[in-house]
A and B are shown apart, each in its own frame.
Chain A
Amino acid sequence: MDGILEGKNVCFAYPGQEPIIRETSFAFPRGGLVLVRGPSGAGKSTFLRLLNRMETPASGSLAYKGRPLDSWDPVQLRTKIILLQQTPVVVPGTVAKNLLLPFDFAANQHLSRPTESAMEQGLSEFLLSGVSLSDHASDLSVGQRQRLCLLRALLLSPDVFLLDEPTSALDPESKGAVERIAEHLCLDHGLLVVVVSHLDFSARRTSPLNFSLSRNTLEESSR
């Protein structure tokens, strides 16, 4: 196995309950686009939460850059492996305030705060050219907020994006935009992007690695 993110015989269960994930092994390469499909309730969100240590596996091992996940400082790790939740969460205030939010955290102090022009460039890169930095984030549409959250994460220069049902709340146009951005992140920024979804993902520029999560375990699938 030579992935940037690897798992070996990973099992997870909430205390006193049936396992949600069992005996799952995988190796996800740097710069890859990984699509994990499965019905709702199959444990897709839990799978992603294991990868950024929001949950801890009951047994098995996870590794990032060849080092066990739990040997990394959890807070630093989450600036490298960023999970984006199903519903995009913004804080009250402007688009600029939202983009700069993570730079107030101690773990991100070593990063230089993006300039206004860098943020504006990011907005257009993420198909948000109509949005200005002084707009209120809560006035944006769900699709725009989703892309704003993606940009906010990218400004931290992570290695891995974990996207939890990124398109399920979106109209077809916004869905297409997020799909293009996901491919853009892999191809042009060299990031590993892991997408879990019960929806299809129409890849245009990449050939994704397909997995399915059903019966509590991850399996490679043909599409």
Chain B
Amino acid sequence: MDTLEDYKYTMELCNRCGQCKWVLGPKFKGYKYAEICPIYMRYGYNAYSGQGLINIAQELLEGKLTYEDGLIQLIYSCTTCGACDINCKSIRDMEVLDTILALRAKCVEDGWGPMPKHKDYAQLVSESHNIYGKPHGNRLQWVPKDIQLSEDSDTAYFTGCTTAYLFPDIALNTIKILKAADIDFKVLTDEYCCGALLWRTGQREVAKKLAEHNLEVLRVQGIRTLITSCAYCYGTFKGFYPRIAKVDFKVLHISEVVQKMLKEEKLKFNKSIKMKVTYHDPCLLGRLSEEYIPWTGKIKAFGYHDPPKKWRRGTYGVYDAPREVLRAIPDIQLIEMPRNEENSFCCGGGGGVPDAFPDLALWIARERLDEAKSTGAEAIVSCCPFCKLNLERAIKILNEEIRYYDLTDLIIRAL
């Protein structure tokens, strides 16, 4: 796997241009909603930003900076939303987020990371294969007994821990949608946690074991297409698993499946939903969802990458599918937030931040909800149980009127 040493070029190349902290030039819409890094916005110091974190990474790597609790807290305050990474890569050939993730891995290797709450994930997945410590045997408790699922299909639904244990309605919606589209699929009976939070908190060895297990399950069951309803699972299969082994199956988000079915007229929305909504792009379904392609080579004179590197710049994230699905629902009015698609502002629910820093997660969610409300939308729609968890928590604590819907919920209502 990649290590911090692999990102020396990135660390040396930063010239503090600020692009990791602000939306991209053509995406500026005005004074408000112009910042893109949640922690820079919250704390104001450069250290709390993509720029600062890669500066810190370099000093740690070179032994100029020593560990202390405050440093670890800073490193783990980042939601790993990757806005800095994609914005930087709009104008540079740098790997800001991979550097941050490698920095976290180094913290773990050196015995300083992750945050205590994050260590629980590792303990819990080793005991029960999910990050909530719920019985593994209950993972598929949400599956209705009266539903017929395929046993030999090469298409599978990967539920994910958060969906399976906290939001089984999303899982239920998903299989109902797949059934409505007449898709032959199975629900994986022996899936473990995808490893997302372990990966993103630097606990890569644990994440690797989970990935190896899931890859073996998929191999044994001959799965060629894996469907997820969770942005975190999706982004992990696309962004982390290729670092472990060759991924030779297709990963689809449920929004992509529905988009395709609508185009092929295998699904049709018959019911109207009169609602103004805005769509929140989950980081791991949007800008961070491109497939990771390992690259080994040399960076030669004047930045030439030999052999040429295939960059993940956020260009081909899953942006259109959920929007097309929403627009296809009769009477739904979709209004965009100023920060959207590759410039989407994080909800605060990622990178283990809600567990370690709940106040920060709430602060970030409040900023996102303010932006959603500025559009005049009645509801914010997204495709990620972690976004749901954090945004719904914020709505409740802040006593907001705006509602949150998972995309699958609206799809089911419209079918």
Decide if A and B are genuine partners.
no
Residues of chain B at the chain A interface (Cβ within 8 Å): none
Q: Which positions in A face B, CB cutoff 8 Å?
A: none
